[in-house]
């Protein structure tokens, strides 16, 4: 099957996850794709294929070289972001992109002057949205790359390899992708998440990440008799947000610069809840950002004379660089394989996180590789079919290099 057809099939499944769900996976629709993948993996000759009770899909491409080489794992996630609709996706396929503006829908236009990554994919075949939904390249492009790799290995038994482990996780977008990941069942020496952007980029460091919940309890009084009595929690919430450093909002940051992002706000005069994500590659700088929230809490509580503001802080994931620095060979072999297939390896810090960050701390070293997807989580998302094809080639080369190195076979 062509990789683009495989990808188009996967995005036909609506697999949005849900921040507020208490089930695992957070949405039942993710299991529909999981069941489809289980059947597809069995057809392609994988063994030990199953979906766990928590919606994680596992399978093994069995060794055909008497178990020489490392056991490498490849992981992608099935869910799409709750930030934009993933239902009834109507993709557009663009052949040999000419570098011009792409009209998606009404006023939704992919302009290479604004969306500058388009300048990297001139001459590529692309898939875009129609401007009404996200696309789902994050991370169904990763699934398509892994499954296309598996199909190649099924059709080419002369391609020698050790056991290759594959897993597809739910709920990565809501920070729960590895809560029930069974590393012992997966049984890999190390793994790579396939979940990123430009295929020339690879990632072994990511943000340290916290969630901060701010709850403000005001005093609701009829506005006709509110003077010197009412404390409007909505007004206090605006003050709280304005007291945080404006230049640390994500729209003013890039690269290694950290940020705090207000991603949900809901309330009434009586009670308001603010939800933030706080990110920084430097853990000490992150702690300073967290302390900003605590200082504002103390200031406002002192100003109003009661426990007006409550702040709750949750760790989400940490920078995998602190683990992967002890496994330099895992990173080095990516660089070698990229050069072997004609890519230009570029190490980029992830301004976010992956399942690999948590897995690395759980004992499975797990850098991240790109997929060719860009501008995810919204209607401007697109993927390069050309880069996806190169992603398959890269995975095969990683496997081949590992086996040849272990067998000391020149090539």
Per-residue pLDDT of 232-247, as tens digits, reads 999 999 999 999 999 9
What pLDDT does residue 403 have?
Answer: 84
Does residue 193 have a pLDDT over 70?
yes
165 Rama class: left (phi>0) / alpha (psi -120 to 50) / beta: beta
Catalytic member of 172, 201, 355, 393: 172
Average confidence (pLDDT) over 297-314? 97
Q: What percent of the chain lies above the pLDDT cut of 90?
A: 90
| pTM given for the model | 0.88
Band (405; pLDDT cuts 50, 70, 90) = low
Span 334-361, pLDDT tens digits: 999 999 999 999 988 888 877 888 999 9
* 200 and 73 fall within a common domain: yes
3 state SS for 325-348: CCCHHHHHHHHHHHHHCCCCCEEC
Q: Locate 218 and state its tokens.
A: 């005001």
4 classed as catalytic: no
- Rounded to an integer, the average pLDDT of 272-300 is 97
Q: Are 387 and 259 in a shared domain?
A: no
Task: Clarify whether residues 287 and 161 are in a common domain.
Answer: no
Under 8 Å between Cβ of 207 and 258: yes
Q: Does residue 411 register a pLDDT over 50?
A: no
Query: Which positions make up the binding site?
Result: 77, 138, 173, 195, 377
Q: Give the mean pLDDT of 100-116.
A: 94
pLDDT at 406 over 70: no
Q: Is pLDDT at 180 greater than 50 in this prediction?
A: yes
Tally of domains within the chain: 2
Half-sphere exposure of 327 (CA within 13 A, CB side): 22
- Rounded CA separation 141/388 (Å): 7
Residues flagged as binding site for Zn(2+): 77, 138, 173, 195, 377
Range of the domain at 288: 208-317
Of 280, 299, 317, at which residue does a domain stop?
Answer: 317
* pLDDT (0 to 100) of residue 327: 94
Instruction: For residues 28 and 139, state if they share a domain.
Output: yes
Q: Kindly state the average pLDDT of the residues 125-141.
A: 97
Look at residue 409 and tell me whether its pLDDT is greater than 50. no
CA-CA distance, 31 to 56, in Å (whole number)? Answer: 9
Q: 299-306 — which CB contacts under 8 Å span 24+ positions?
A: 299/243, 300/236, 300/239, 300/240, 304/231, 304/236
Would you say residue 47 has pLDDT above 70? yes
Pairing of strands 190-194, 72-77: parallel
Among residues 266, 298, 317, the one where a domain terminates is 317
User: Which two structure tokens, joined as six digits, stand for 411?
Assistant: 């090539």
Q: What is the mean pLDDT of the chain?
A: 95
Residues 18 and 99 both lie in one domain? yes
Return all residues near 110 (Cβ < 8 A) that are at least 6 apart.
101, 102, 104, 118, 128, 380, 382
Q: Where is average pLDDT lowest: 17-31, 58-72, 348-362? A: 348-362
CATH no. for residue 265? Answer: 3.30.70.360
Judgement on whether residues 151 and 29 belong to the same structural domain of the protein: yes
158 labelled catalytic: no
Q: Which of 80, 105, 91, 104 is nearest to 8 (CA)?
A: 91
Pick the catalytic residue: 4, 79, 139, 381? 79
In this model, does residue 195 exceed pLDDT 60? yes
DSSP lists the bridge partners of residue 206 as 350
């Amino acid at each position: 099957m062509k990789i683009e057809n495989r990808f188009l099939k996967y995005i036909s499944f609506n697999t949005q996850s849900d921040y507020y769900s208490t089930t695992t996976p957070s949405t039942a629709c993710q299991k529909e794709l999981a069941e489809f993948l289980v059947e597809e993996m069995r057809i392609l000759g994988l063994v030990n294929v199953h979906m766990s009770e928590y919606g994680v899909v596992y399978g093994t491409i069995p060794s055909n070289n008497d178990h020489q080489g490392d056991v490498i794992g490849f992981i992608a996630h099935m869910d799409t972001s709750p930030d934009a609709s993933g239902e009834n996706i109507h993709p557009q396929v663009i052949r040999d992109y000419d570098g011009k503006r792409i009209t998606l829908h009404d006023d939704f236009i992919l302009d290479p002057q604004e969306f500058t990554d388009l300048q990297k994919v001139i001459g590529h075949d692309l898939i875009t949205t129609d401007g009404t939904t996200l696309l789902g390249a994050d991370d169904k492009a990763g699934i398509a790359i892994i499954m296309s790799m598996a199909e190649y290995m099924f059709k080419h038994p002369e391609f020698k390899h050790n056991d290759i482990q594959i897993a597809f996780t739910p709920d990565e977008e809501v920070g729960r992708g590895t809560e029930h990941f069974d590393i012992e069942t997966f049984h890999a020496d190390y793994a790579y998440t396939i979940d990123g952007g430009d295929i020339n980029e690879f990632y072994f460091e990511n943000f340290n990440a916290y969630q901060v919940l701010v709850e403000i309890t005001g005093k609701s009084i009829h506005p006709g008799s509110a003077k010197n009595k009412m404390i409007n929690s909505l007004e206090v919430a605006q003050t709280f947000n304005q007291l945080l450093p404006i230049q640390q909002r994500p729209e003013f940051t890039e690269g290694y610069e950290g940020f705090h992002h207000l991603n949900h706000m809901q309330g009434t005069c009586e009670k308001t809840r603010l939800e933030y994500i706080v990110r920084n590659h430097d853990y000490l700088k992150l702690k300073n950002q967290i302390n900003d929230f605590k200082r504002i809490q103390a200031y406002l509580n002192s100003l109003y004379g009661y426990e007006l503001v409550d702040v709750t802080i949750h760790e989400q994931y940490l920078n995998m660089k602190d683990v992967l620095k002890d496994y330099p060979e895992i990173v080095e072999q990516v660089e070698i394989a990229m050069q072997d297939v004609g890519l230009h390896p570029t190490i980029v810090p992830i301004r976010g996180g992956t399942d690999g960050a948590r897995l690395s701390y759980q004992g499975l070293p797990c850098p991240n590789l790109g997929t060719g997807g860009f501008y995810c989580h919204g209607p401007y998302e697109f993927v390069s079919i050309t880069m996806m094809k190169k992603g398959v080639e890269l995975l095969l080369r990683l496997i081949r290099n590992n086996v040849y190195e272990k067998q000391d076979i020149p090539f």
